[in-house]
């Protein structure tokens, strides 16, 4: 049955119970026993047994209470020390109730003490040595061996020579073993604490180690007294044992591995780790040389010789380690200096770069600059396309014959590069398998590569990589990470505008291509009315896009990526197909850009199937590069269609547009029609346009009529045709056919 639930229930009834209070009660009982023995010397053995039992129980209870409220390493230490205290307490009890074990060889008590030592060793090794840096393990192992052998040698010397005890005495093995662990074990643990820079304290591991040492030395003292025939007397070792147990319990209950990096403590810790083993060697040698009866070559001399040899080995290893450290430091400093010079040279060169005429040329220039770095044999720039694919934009060095510029990497490779670049610079190693272009680079000699993201406007637009052919290039690539990061920042600034514009262009091109391919639009028709009779004589075909984007923006986007004519042609074809269902006799007005009108052939392909009258509205919102070319194109169409100038008064060319094209219909912009009934300047301007149209032989069509007053004013001024929300809104062909809008 576990002791934890028992301790929990006990504490629930005794709410004041805590580790420190329990240990204080144990200490009080130990102190009180001194007075009790003085008052009743005949009961000294009994009183001593009781105080040892109370001290042992207090230590165990305090440790179990601490384990109940702790976690992790602290709980493990508290539990382990509690078990060790149980073993040592039982061992003492067996020794006392079976006095024959003092002279008959190893018995149950010795086994219990051995179990105690093993438990302490396991707990200290896990709590202290386990967290030690691997580079220090060899030093601690040698120091521990020196201390262990030196302690054994000294204890044997003290036992056999200085105390003149019976070395054949069977309890001596237990005493010497206890003393050995009590001195060497805690000292080695203390060295490990110094290596880990754990602050000395009267709490925690230092107190626990002091308590373990005191318990072990008490056992040595007991055996010494027994060897001299004083084993039944109550003396200081009995109280040292109890106090040692209480100290061990307090140290385990307050376990804390708090470290310090203060310079003063660091110097102290370094001095301690260097001096303690040397002091042990010096003491061991001094005792062997000065102790009486040391002429024979016994265990003491052998132990001392081994200690001296281990000390020499330790010194040789420390000297070699120091030499390697100085060499490594010098190599690192030289490498760092070379790296700094290379980076400075490279970054100065990059900042002077103005870039090429294209992203590919700029990327290639950047790669050629990267080859100037020491140890770099290959450089590549990979950019992310609109679909997330990685494309080789530029490369230089080895592998240029194996990998082509413009290579689109596989989706798996592209995704890997994108994922890794999101986490910052990284290194990769090439092997003779995998994707073909990677194998080709390996065959060309490339072994490792350091990569860094290209960032522009807080967005990763690509990845730059620098590679090496060296078999030891793994460390080289690791050293390049900071350089390649800086390289990526500068390269991103140079490539960013180009790649961002290209990505925007490609994304827009893909979007507009999809609109055209999916016919993601539909035509609507707005009636054109004879203002004198009020009848509908024609319809203007307009386009509405399924995604809700304004038509003028969509046509501008298509023109920006070279798809303007394709989109216009597709829209005209859709309008032509739907116009078949319009009322007979109504003509169809189609909007065309000057570019489409000048191209002529795509326009003729749409118009040739029309069986109704067509009016081509040439928009004035687009500049005309050559009026002659446009006039020549329209001249070939005049026998089949009428020509209209759209939005007169709102475009680039003004009256020149009308004079050069000679339109059949001039459409007055909505800006001239708005508030016509209250603005005499507008009325005067339209009146002049009416006179101009009469002289030029063309017809005026007013756009954007929305009020009865505007309509009346236009009729008064003599404008022939009109359209606007007042006369009819744009509608799909289905609504017009079903009569849901005015025809």
Task: Please check whether residue 342 lies inside any domain of the structure.
Answer: no
Helix (H) or strand (E) holding 178: helix 172-195
Q: How confident is the model at residue 31 (pLDDT cuts 50, 70, 90)?
A: confident
pLDDT at position 174 is 52
pLDDT for 225 beyond 70: no
Q: Are residues 437 and 569 in the same domain?
A: no
List alpha helices for 519-563, DSSP H. 551-560
Q: What percent of the chain has pLDDT over 90?
A: 14
Find, among 462, 559, 473, 578, the residue nearest to 516 by Cα. 559
* Judgement on whether residues 167 and 274 belong to the same structural domain of the protein: yes
Residue 1 confidence (pLDDT) = 45
Please state the φ and ψ torsions of residue 457, each to the nearest 5 degrees.
55, 45
pLDDT at 477 over 70: no
pLDDT of residue 515: 94
Mean pLDDT of 410-432: 88
331 in any annotated domain:
no
In tens, the pLDDT along 653-699 reads: 456 777 777 888 998 888 889 888 889 998 998 998 899 888 888 99
Q: How confident is the model at residue 363 (pLDDT cuts 50, 70, 90)?
A: confident
pLDDT band at 539; cut points 50, 70, 90: very high
Instruction: Show which of 476, 503, 530 is a domain's final residue.
Output: 503
Final residue before a domain boundary, out of 503, 530, 565: 503
On whether both 455 and 544 belong to a single domain, the answer is: no
Least confident of 127-141, 400-414, 569-583: 127-141
The predicted structure's pLDDT at residue 102? 44
Q: What are the helix (H) ranges across 291-403?
A: 299-352, 359-370
The pLDDT assigned to 103 comes to: 44
Question: Are 497 and 550 within one domain?
Answer: no
Q: What is the pLDDT of residue 227?
A: 59
Of 319, 337, 361, which residue constitutes the final position of a domain? Answer: 319
Report pLDDT for 526. Answer: 94
Residue-level pLDDT at 522: 94
692 & 729 share domain: yes
Query: Considering the chain, what percentage of its residues have pLDDT values greater than 70?
Result: 74
Confidence at 33, pLDDT banded by 50, 70, 90: confident
The more confidently predicted of residues 69 and 314 is 69
Q: Is residue 556 part of a domain?
A: yes
pLDDT band at 535 (very low <50, low <70, confident <90, very high): very high
User: Do 308 and 389 lie in a common domain?
Assistant: no
**Could you tell me if 155 and 281 lie in one domain?**
yes
293-334 pLDDT, tens digit each: 555 555 666 667 777 777 777 767 766 766 776 777 676 666
List C-alpha distances in Å: 571 to 240, 517, 606, 644: 103, 12, 10, 18
Residues in the chain: 743
At 171-211, the pLDDT tens digits run 555 555 556 666 667 777 777 787 777 877 888 888 888 88
Q: What 3-state DSSP class applies to 298? A: coil
SS3 485: helix
C-alpha to C-alpha distance for 453 and 416, rounded to whole angstroms:
13
pLDDT over 70 (residue 113): yes
Q: Which residue has the higher pLDDT, 479 or 608?
A: 608
Q: Please give the average per-residue pLDDT across 405-428, as a whole number.
A: 89
Residue 169 has pLDDT above 50, yes or no: no
Residue 592 predicted with pLDDT over 60? yes
End-to-end CA gap in the chain? 98
Statement to judge: residues 366 and 295 lie in one domain? no
Confirm whether 509 is domain-assigned: no
Mean pLDDT of all residues belonging to the chain: 78
The CA distance from 476 to 375, in Å, is 8
CA dist 555 → 482, 552, 577, 601 (Å): 47, 5, 20, 20
Model pLDDT, residue 334: 67
DSSP class per residue in 380-436: EEEEE-TTS-EEEEEEEETTTTTS-TTPBPPHHHHHHHHHHHHT--EEEE--SSSSH
Span of 37-41, 272-276, 559-563 with lowest mean pLDDT: 272-276
> Stretch 484-490: mean pLDDT, rounded?
77
In three-state form (DSSP H/G/I as H, E/B as E, the rest C), the secondary structure along 46-82 is: HHHHHHHHHHHHHHHHHHHHHHHCCCHHHHHHHHHHH
* 222 compared with 15, residue with greater pLDDT: 222
Average pLDDT over residues 385-392: 82
- pLDDT grade for 157, boundaries at 50, 70 and 90: low
Specify whether 389 is located in the same domain as 525.
no
The segment with the largest mean pLDDT, out of 94-98, 213-217, 301-305, 409-413, is 409-413
Place of tokens 């505008």: 497
Least confident piece of the model among 160-164, 316-320, 520-524: 160-164
Contact 528, 723 (CB under 8 A): yes
| Residue 441, domain extent | 353-503
Is residue 554 over pLDDT 80?
yes
- State the pLDDT confidence band at 167, using cuts at 50, 70 and 90: very low
Distance CA 105, CA 180 (A): 19
Q: Using the 8-state DSSP alphabet, how is residue 283 labeled?
A: H
Cα 659 to Cα 663: distance, rounded to the nearest angstrom: 8
Band of residue 346 on the pLDDT scale cut at 50, 70, 90: low
Does 330 map to a domain?
A: no
Q: Which residue has the higher pLDDT, 567 or 16?
A: 567
Whether 89 contacts 53, CB under 8 Å:
yes
Q: Would you say residue 545 has pLDDT above 60? A: yes
Which is more confidently placed, 34 or 439? 439
347 falls within a domain: no
CB 317 within 8 A of CB 137: no
Around 350, how many Cα atoms within 13 Å sit in the side-chain half-sphere? 28
Q: Which two tokens mark 427? A: 């290194």
The confidence band for 718, taking pLDDT boundaries of 50, 70 and 90, is very high
CATH number, position 652: 3.20.20.450
| Beta-ladder partners of 455 | 460
Distances (CA, A) of 294 to 162, 303, 309, 510: 11, 13, 20, 98
Query: What's the total number of domains in the chain?
Result: 3
What CA–CA distance (Å, rounded) separates 723 from 509? Answer: 35
- Whether 460 maps to a domain, the answer reads yes
Calculate mean pLDDT across residues 99-127: 69
CB 27: neighbour CB atoms within 10 A? 18
Whether residue 492 sits in one domain with residue 572: no
Asked if residue 712 has pLDDT above 90, the reply is yes
The answer to whether residue 512 sits within a structural domain is no
* Region of poorest pLDDT, from 429-438, 456-465, 532-541, 592-601: 592-601
CATH number of the domain enclosing 401 = 3.30.450.40
Tokens of 182: 């009590």
- pLDDT score for 719: 93
Cβ atoms 677, 712 nearer than 8 A:
yes
Tokens of 65: 């209470």
Residue keyed to tokens 């009322």:
583
What pLDDT is recorded for position 162? 47
pLDDT score recorded for residue 652: 47
Are 699 and 591 in the same domain?
yes
Model confidence at 627, pLDDT cuts 50, 70, 90, reads low
pLDDT band at 100 (very low <50, low <70, confident <90, very high): very low
Q: 424 vs 120, 190, 295, 350, 482, CA distance in Å?
A: 47, 42, 71, 21, 10
Of 41-45, 143-147, 348-352, 414-418, the range with the highest mean pLDDT is 414-418
**Residue bearing tokens 């990677």:** 438
Residues 299 and 390 in one domain: no
């Amino acid at each position: 049955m576990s002791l934890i639930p028992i301790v929990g229930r006990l504490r629930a009834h005794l709410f004041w119970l805590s580790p420190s209070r329990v240990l204080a009660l144990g200490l009080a009982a130990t102190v009180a026993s001194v007075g009790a023995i003085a008052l009743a010397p005949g009961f000294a053995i009994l009183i001593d047994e009781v105080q040892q039992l109370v001290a042992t129980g207090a230590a165990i209870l305090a440790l179990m209470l601490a384990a109940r409220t702790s976690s992790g390493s602290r709980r493990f230490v508290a539990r382990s020390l509690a078990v060790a205290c149980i073993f040592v307490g039982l061992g003492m009890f067996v020794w006392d109730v079976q006095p024959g074990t003092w002279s008959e060889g190893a018995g149950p008590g010795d086994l219990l003490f051995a179990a105690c030592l093993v438990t302490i060793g396991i707990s200290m090794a896990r709590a202290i040595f386990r967290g030690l840096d691997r580079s220090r393990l060899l030093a601690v192992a040698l120091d521990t061996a020196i201390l262990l052998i030196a302690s054994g040698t000294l204890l044997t010397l003290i036992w056999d020579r200085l105390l003149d005890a019976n070395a054949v005495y069977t309890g001596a093995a237990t005493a010497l073993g206890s003393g050995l662990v009590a001195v060497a074990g805690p000292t080695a643990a203390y060295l490990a604490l110094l290596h880990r820079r754990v602050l000395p304290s009267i709490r925690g591991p230092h107190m626990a180690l002091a308590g373990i040492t005191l318990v072990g030395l008490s056992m040595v003292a007991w055996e010494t007294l027994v060897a001299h025939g004083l084993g039944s007397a109550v003396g200081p070792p009995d109280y040292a044992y109890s106090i040692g147990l209480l100290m061990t319990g307090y140290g385990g209950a307050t376990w804390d591995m708090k470290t310090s990096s203060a310079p003063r403590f660091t110097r102290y810790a370094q001095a301690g780790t260097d001096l303690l083993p040397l002091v042990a060697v010096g003491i061991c040698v001094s005792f062997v040389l000065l102790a009486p009866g040391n002429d024979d070559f016994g265990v003491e001399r052998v132990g001392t010789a081994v200690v001296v040899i281990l000390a020499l080995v330790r010194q040789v290893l420390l000297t070699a380690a120091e030499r390697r450290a100085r060499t490594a430091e010098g190599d690192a400093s030289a490498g760092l200096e070379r790296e700094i010079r290379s980076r400075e040279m490279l970054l100065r060169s990059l900042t002077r770069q103005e870039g090429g005429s294209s992203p590919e040329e700029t990327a290639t220039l950047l790669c050629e600059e990267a080859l100037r770095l020491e140890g770099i044999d290959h450089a590549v720039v990979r950019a992310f396309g609109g679909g997330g694919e990685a494309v080789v934009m530029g490369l230089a060095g080895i592998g240029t014959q194996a990998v082509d510029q413009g290579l689109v990497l596989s989706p798996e490779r592209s995704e890997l590069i994108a994922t890794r670049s999101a986490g910052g610079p990284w290194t990769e190693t090439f092997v003779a398998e995998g994707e073909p272009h990677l194998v080709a680079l390996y065959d060309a000699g490339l072994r490792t590569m350091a990569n860094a993201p290209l960032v522009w406007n807080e967005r990763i637009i690509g990845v730059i990589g620098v590679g090496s052919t060296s078999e030891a290039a793994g460390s080289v690539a690791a050293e390049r990470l900071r350089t390649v990061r800086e390289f990526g920042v500068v390269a991103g600034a140079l490539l960013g505008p180009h790649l961002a514009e290209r990505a925007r262009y490609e994304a827009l091109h893909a979007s507009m291509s999809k609109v055209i391919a999916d016919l993601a639009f539909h035509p609507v028709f707005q009636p054109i009315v004879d203002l004198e009779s009020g009848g509908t004589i024609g319809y203007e075909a307009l386009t509405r896009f399924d995604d809700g984007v304004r038509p003028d923006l969509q046509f501008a986007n298509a023109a920006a990526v070279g798809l303007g004519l394709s989109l216009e042609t597709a829209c005209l074809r859709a309008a032509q197909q739907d116009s078949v269902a319009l009322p007979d006799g109504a003509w169809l007005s189609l909007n065309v850009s000057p570019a489409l009108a000048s191209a002529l052939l795509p326009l003729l392909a749409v118009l040739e199937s029309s069986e109704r009258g067509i009016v081509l509205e040439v928009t004035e919102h687009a500049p005309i590069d050559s009026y002659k070319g446009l006039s020549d194109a329209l001249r070939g169409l005049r026998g089949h269609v009428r020509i209209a100038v759209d939005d007169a008064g709102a475009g680039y060319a003004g009256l020149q547009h009308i004079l050069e094209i000679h339109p059949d219909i001039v459409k007055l912009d909505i800006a001239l029609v708005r508030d016509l009934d209250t603005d005499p300047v507008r009325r005067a301007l339209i009146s002049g346009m009416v006179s101009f149209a009469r002289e030029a032989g063309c017809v005026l069509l007013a756009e954007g009529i929305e009020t009865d007053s505007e309509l009346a004013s236009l009729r008064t001024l003599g404008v022939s045709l009109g359209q606007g929300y007042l006369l009819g809104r744009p509608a799909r062909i289905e609504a017009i056919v079903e009569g849901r809008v005015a025809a």
